[in-house]
Amino acid sequence: MEMSVTEKFKELFNELEGCDEVDQKQKIEEMKRMIDEMNEKEFESVFTTELFENIHKMIILKKFSLKDAISLLMCIGSFNASFIILKSSFESSSLRHIFEIIIIDEEKKKERKNERLLIDLCECCLLLNNYNVDLSKDLLGICIRYLLKVALKKEEDKETQKEVETAILALSCIRKLQKVPKELFLNEIKEIVFYQQEHHNLTPLASRFLWLFLMDRLDNDESLEDVFVNELHLAREVARELEELSKCVDWTRKEKEKENRGKEVKKKFIIRRFLYAFFFFFFSSSKLWNEEFIELIMSIVQVLRASRDNHKETFESCINVIETAAGKKVVKIEAFLKGGAVDAVLEEIQRPTLDDKIAYNGLIFFMNVLYRLKDEEKDEMEEAKRKATKMELFEKMEEEGYEDCIFGFCNCKVESLFDEYIFVPNVERLFVHY
């Protein structure tokens, strides 16, 4: 009977201790190839706290060089970061604590500082962080400083591009909720983004994770919103990234028909990370932004339509993001019309296979839009423009009988996102009083 990939990996790892340096390197390369073949469950079953403790012991006993350990850990970390593995294992290991001590001690040296070691250990600590442990202020400052130094490299040879990609991937692992003072990164990040926009020097993966890092920083610092949106053109750039990612996924294949592994699956996970970041951005922001948000809404709608039949989790995330955006003054109402969101949601609520959660989100989307139109009237919005938007919205809903479809849900009981049944409120008055 053929051994599973996890059994082969464990067997190779157990053989490391008795190998010479050359054999160890060969086995490590083979183990790294195996990691790329694993799915999420296989990965979690192998990379336990016990494994990290064994790596630490082998380093102490000089049966495993620190350089080779880092090589293996970087591969583990890249998988961990790309697939958002949330199981804690490295954080609770002694290896993590030793790495952090080495980083801080090495940084304190005034002479003969090993910068390459510092960068490697910073990347390991962040890539294996799992998003659920706050880094100390000192460690965070060191990691950001050294990794940005790598990310600022502009050479376009493959080796440098890979270094930059790994550094940005590691930076994107800093927790969304962890406060990162903008003084630590803003000027450098702006330089990286501006250079990328002009020269396209970053790999696709590096570019995507750069924007994820930026969107995560918005959670704790509203002062960054204007810089990110109007200077760095966040909405436009992220829309393009999402569009390119969507093209790389075969949405026609059902998730259960394909193994949860490979480059395509990694791209799907990155799409979900983008959608997760959008949700919090729209939820927390209170400003009304520029026309580039039409492009962003269009790209989300594109993923929504593509994922509708076979990728339920991604599809529900898209609906959730659109509904949240409609309830906030981040995106103008016209963007939902021009970006195709109104059409997409209208299509969903009349599908014969409509489920409670989609019905709930769809109806809340329209109620948010209608309330927004009323609020904008109170805010003395340009009347002709408001009336034109309202007329376009209502005509679109009336053409195919969508208005009747929405009324059909009035006072119906549907299951909300909070797993409890609610009554959909009367929406007739919103239509009647406009």
Predicted local confidence at residue 288, as pLDDT: 62
pLDDT category at 424 given cuts 50, 70, 90 is: very low
Instruction: Give yes or no for residue 1 having a pLDDT over 70.
Output: no
Instruction: Give yes or no for residue 433 having a pLDDT over 90.
Output: no
Best-predicted range by mean pLDDT (265-279, 392-406, 415-429) = 265-279
Predicted local confidence at residue 269, as pLDDT: 84
pLDDT category at 421 given cuts 50, 70, 90 is: very low
Higher pLDDT, 99 or 433: 99
Predicted local confidence at residue 411, as pLDDT: 47
* Pick from 78-87, 109-118, 183-192, 318-327: least confident: 78-87
Q: What is the pTM of this model?
A: 0.86
* Pick from 11-25, 248-262, 345-359: least confident: 248-262
% of the chain beyond a pLDDT of 70:
83
% of the chain beyond a pLDDT of 90:
47
Instruction: Give yes or no for residue 138 having a pLDDT over 70.
Output: yes
pLDDT category at 38 given cuts 50, 70, 90 is: confident
Q: Are 225 and 287 in contact (CB under 8 A)?
A: yes
* Pick from 107-111, 337-341, 385-389: least confident: 385-389
pLDDT category at 408 given cuts 50, 70, 90 is: low
pLDDT category at 23 given cuts 50, 70, 90 is: very high
Q: Quick one: average pLDDT of 72-80?
A: 90
Predicted local confidence at residue 220, as pLDDT: 77
- The tens digit of pLDDT for each residue in 345-371 reads 888 877 777 677 787 788 788 888 877
Predicted local confidence at residue 261, as pLDDT: 53
State the chain's mean pLDDT as an integer. Answer: 84
Predicted local confidence at residue 328, as pLDDT: 83
Instruction: Give yes or no for residue 305 having a pLDDT over 90.
Output: yes
Predicted local confidence at residue 379, as pLDDT: 55
Instruction: Give yes or no for residue 418 having a pLDDT over 50.
Output: no
- The tens digit of pLDDT for each residue in 152-186 reads 999 989 999 999 999 999 999 998 878 899 999 99
- The tens digit of pLDDT for each residue in 364-406 reads 888 888 778 776 655 555 667 767 777 777 676 666 555 555 5
